[in-house]
């Protein structure tokens, strides 16, 4: 896929997605045309465009706040015009407002759902004609929060769970039109949302030790899967939610108990016993 719209593409996972899409298109002998969006103009957004152009891609930055229901269609219109069509839309923009459910304001709840879920619906509706023509793909960036409770993120896990189901619904209805729709759900990734808490290597190693693959994920890990999902090698893949979390969601209570109380899951047969000191 060489004509792509990427929302939330200015930093972290979004930036890596843009660069990976460009690399893959160039490797296939195509000239990538990528429209990158973000909330407001920023040096980061312009820097990504400069990086893409340096690689040999054609790139355009289009700012827009996805809280505004008119913005998704506007972004798609810019992308279709700039790219002379559209092969894929990747919705990476998202966000959470921390807090407990009891203290969540209705406006905050609606904002989180608007950016994470509603925007993907509106992007899909607007992009449908172009994607139907190109037999293209939609890819939502979800979260492992859609399957596991996340403390103090109130609306975020429900919004991502809704996004995952929306992907399945769109895939079912639009498969007959040749449009594939999938979701890629990162786990703990070293990106914009975690960079302050995990700025030190020792913190990354400490947290990564609890993950089955023994490390925190990188934006490039996610970008590689997104590029596959929207690319020609995934031509028979639709309606799926692919978790890119190093196995994090499979952790059982032993992962917590092992750290908190000295219990171990090494007992034959899968039982748990006190760890010998």
The predicted structure's pLDDT at residue 189: 86
Q: CB within 8 A of 199, min separation 6: which ones?
A: none
| Domain identity same for 206 and 229 | yes
**266 band by pLDDT with thresholds 50, 70 and 90:** very low
| Domain identity same for 270 and 185 | no
| Domain identity same for 121 and 32 | yes
Catalytic residue list: 156
Residue 262 reports pLDDT greater than 70:
no
Q: Which of 142, 132, 110 is nearest to 249 (CA)?
A: 142
Residue 270 — left, alpha, or beta (φ > 0 → left; ψ -120 to 50 → alpha)? left
In the sheet that holds 180-186, the strands lie side by side as 58-63, 33-38, 3-7, 88-91, 137-141, 180-186, 241-244
| Domain identity same for 133 and 256 | no
Work out the burial of residue 75: count CB atoms within 10 Å of its CB; fewer than 13 is exposed, 13-18 middle, 19 or more buried.
buried
| Domain identity same for 112 and 82 | yes
Compute φ and ψ for 198, nearest 5 degrees.
-120, 40
Say how far apart CA 60 and CA 75 lie, in whole Å. 11
In contact, 130 and 184? CB cutoff 8 Å = no
| Range 12-31 average pLDDT | 96
Residue 195 reports pLDDT greater than 80:
no
| Domain identity same for 253 and 225 | no
* Chain-centroid distance, C-alpha 165: 15
| Domain identity same for 78 and 157 | yes
Choice between 270 and 42, residue whose per-residue pLDDT is larger: 42
**240 band by pLDDT with thresholds 50, 70 and 90:** very high
| Range 24-39 average pLDDT | 95
What confidence tens digit (pLDDT) does each residue in 139-157 have?
999 998 888 777 788 999 9
| Domain identity same for 272 and 157 | no
The structure tokens listed for 240 are 């799926």
Per the structure, the count of domains in the chain is: 2
Residue 259 reports pLDDT greater than 70:
no
| Domain identity same for 168 and 257 | no
Say how far apart CA 206 and CA 188 lie, in whole Å. 13
The predicted structure's pLDDT at residue 192: 67
| Domain identity same for 234 and 254 | no
What confidence tens digit (pLDDT) does each residue in 5-19 have?
999 999 999 999 999
CATH number, domain with residue 130:
3.40.50.720
In contact, 4 and 90? CB cutoff 8 Å = yes
| Domain identity same for 254 and 149 | no
| Domain identity same for 148 and 275 | no
What confidence tens digit (pLDDT) does each residue in 159-190 have?
999 999 999 999 999 999 999 999 999 988 88
Boundaries of domain holding 261: 248-277
């Amino acid at each position: 896929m060489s004509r792509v719209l990427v929302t939330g593409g200015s930093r972290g996972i979004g930036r890596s997605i843009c660069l990976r899409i460009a690399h893959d298109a160039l490797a296939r002998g195509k000239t990538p045309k990528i429209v990158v969006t973000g909330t407001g103009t920023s040096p980061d957004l312009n820097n990504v465009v400069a990086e893409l152009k340096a690689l040999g891609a054609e790139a355009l930055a289009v700012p827009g706040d996805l809280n505004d229901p008119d913005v998704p269609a506007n972004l798609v219109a810019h992308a279709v015009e700039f790219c002379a069509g559209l092969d894929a839309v990747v919705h990476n923009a998202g966000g959470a407002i921390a807090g407990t459910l009891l203290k969540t304001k209705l406006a905050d709840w609606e904002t989180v759902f608007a950016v994470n879920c509603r925007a993907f619906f509106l992007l899909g509706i607007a992009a449908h004609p172009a994607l139907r023509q190109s037999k293209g793909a939609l890819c939502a960036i979800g979260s492992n929060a859609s399957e596991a409770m996340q403390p103090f993120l109130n609306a975020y896990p429900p919004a991502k769970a809704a996004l995952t189901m929306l992907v399945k619904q769109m895939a079912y209805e639009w498969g007959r039109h040749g449009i594939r729709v999938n979701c890629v759900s990162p786990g703990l990734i070293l990106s914009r949302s975690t960079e302050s808490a995990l700025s030190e290597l020792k913190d990354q190693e400490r947290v990564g030790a609890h993950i089955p693959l023994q490390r925190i994920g990188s934006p490039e890990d996610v970008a590689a899967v997104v590029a596959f999902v929207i690319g020609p090698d995934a031509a028979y893949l639709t309606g799926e939610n692919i978790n890119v979390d190093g196995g994090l969601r499979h952790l059982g209570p032993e992962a917590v108990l092992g750290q908190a109380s000295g219990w171990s899951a090494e007992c034959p047969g899968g039982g748990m016993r006190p760890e010998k000191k």
